[in-house]
Amino acid sequence: VVYAEVFSAIDSDVRAQMWDATGNLVGADYVDVSNESWQRPQSANLNRYDQFLCAAQATNVPGSSGSVIRARTIAAATFAESPKFNVSTPEQSGDKLYCEVGGDPNDGPGTSWYCVVWQRNLTPTDQDVHARLVASDATLAGPGTILIDNTSSSIDWFPSVSKSNGTQGSGAAWTIAWHRYGALDTYRIHAARLAWDGTLLNASTTIPTSTPGVDYYASVSSPLDDGRVLVVFAKYNGSSHRLNYFFLNGMTPTAAGQLDLYPGGNQFEHSVDTDGTRLAITFAQSVGVGASDWDTHVMSFAADGGDIWVTEARTALDVGPDLSARTDIVARRSGGDLGSRRFYAVWDRIAAGGQRDIVGGLYDRPGGGSYGSTCWGIGILCPCFGAVPTHGCANSQFLSGAYLLATGAAEPGPGDTMVFTAVDMPSNTVCTLFQGTSHGSGVPFGDGLRCVSGNVIRIRTKSASAAGVAVFPSAGEPPVSMTGLVPAPGAHRYYQVMYRNSAQFCTNATFNITSGIFVFWLL
């Protein structure tokens, strides 16, 4: 963790702290404590060399004019630091600002480099995104600055680079994203891809948006196991700031939308990373009115084809009267710990008296996927009449209809703790839990609506209690994912409980069915 300490109005120093996997401080030292002024430091890891790079924008650097990108390496085992050196070079004039660093989790043969990106301010109306690869011996790779976007007369701001270039072997690459300034409603996110060896794979590309507003402050995840990256950005629609996203497969957006974070307040100052299959997003959320109270939160998501699923709802990192913002998060996988579910998050906290501190914490994303209610008996689809939201069609004992609940971790295999509970069925009725591989909007089925379809498996048959309740599985019974042959690492499955209802009530049928549950099983 690297951060700036303000020594005076013209001198900021940078300090580094190293933490182990369980949150214990194992080392600390200054990266810069000279008359140079280092600001906005960032860091990343080279797993092959057991090393970190700290880079920052710096002024008052001997032999350099204006603002430059300055850095030094830090050995993880000993905390030994290299001499300070410039990453930006003078063949590209102008101030260099707002740097970020991408690392490489590779620990196999071959060479690994850091990717440092920054904003170059040539004139007030011409600002660009540049990059350079840095080797573990604190030397610069390649013949010169990599011009990610050097467009004349465009204003390109605040570049973000993925925390690592992922686990794709020879296909490993960093994604770089930023926003281009324009008139109202013409701020747009741009992105490019840089291979692990510095080859520009995809030049600057505008990412289209389907909704009006100002798109700004992009944050890029490391590549997932399938090579896609998630870009999270803020959108101002004229009244509020909301976080939006898109997946990139190369430079092709495969999905886009607004993140379902929290209905109230404004959200931004966000960060995103991945453990390969899940994504963790940190963000700041305004509380009430005024700008003095912001809280920080984390949420986890699963990437599924062209969709994104919440797997853990908003979890507080820092709540209270202080202003907590400027979040950053990194997965242990980005440093090479493949298979880990652990993330580390840091953020600013500004107290009422103006004291600013850096706060951090570990986050273990939960196992299991997501699930929710579906196939409600509402409207004209029910054979006789509808019931209420989350319930099935009415039955002879409960006019509100029977419904299916789910709790636990939707993790196939030994981690499966899912429990399905059918409620409001007729007393002591015989009932059966069914699993399907697909579902529809519902077709008449006895006195109810059946949505489960595809390859259907009968999970288990049992008798409901006198209160009309049945639990699947009961104590001692195998988990539902095992009986349903849910594959690892996961899959979509759909569930309903059919029950006997022989009383003359609706149609001549002697059975009915509950509302449904959709489950996205995940490790």
How many angstroms separate the CA atoms of 484 and 177, rounded?
42
Per-residue model confidence (pLDDT) at position 386: 67
Per-residue model confidence (pLDDT) at position 288: 64
Phi and psi, residue 244, nearest 5°: -120, 170
How many angstroms separate the CA atoms of 397 and 395, rounded?
6
Region for residue 353 given its phi and psi (left: phi exceeds 0; alpha: psi -120 to 50; beta: otherwise): alpha
How far is it between the farthest Cα atoms of the chain?
93
How many angstroms separate the CA atoms of 134 and 140, rounded?
5
How many angstroms separate the CA atoms of 376 and 371, rounded?
15
Per-residue model confidence (pLDDT) at position 289: 53
Report the alpha-carbon angle 201-202-208, nearest 5: 160
Size (the chain), residues? 523
10-residue mean pLDDT series, the chain (523 residues): 94 96 92 97 96 98 97 96 98 97 92 97 95 97 96 93 94 96 79 96 88 90 94 89 90 83 80 94 80 86 80 89 92 94 95 89 90 85 80 92 94 93 97 96 91 96 97 95 92 96 90 95 89
Q: Is the distance from CB of 365 to CB of 312 less than 8 angstroms?
A: yes
Per-residue model confidence (pLDDT) at position 290: 55
Per-residue model confidence (pLDDT) at position 293: 80
Per-residue model confidence (pLDDT) at position 185: 59
Cis amide leading into 489 (omega within 30): yes
Per-residue model confidence (pLDDT) at position 354: 84
Phi and psi, residue 332, nearest 5°: -60, -30
- Write out pLDDT tens, residues 450-469: 999 999 999 999 999 999 99
- pTM, entire model: 0.86
How many angstroms separate the CA atoms of 344 and 328, rounded?
8
How many angstroms separate the CA atoms of 380 and 405, rounded?
23
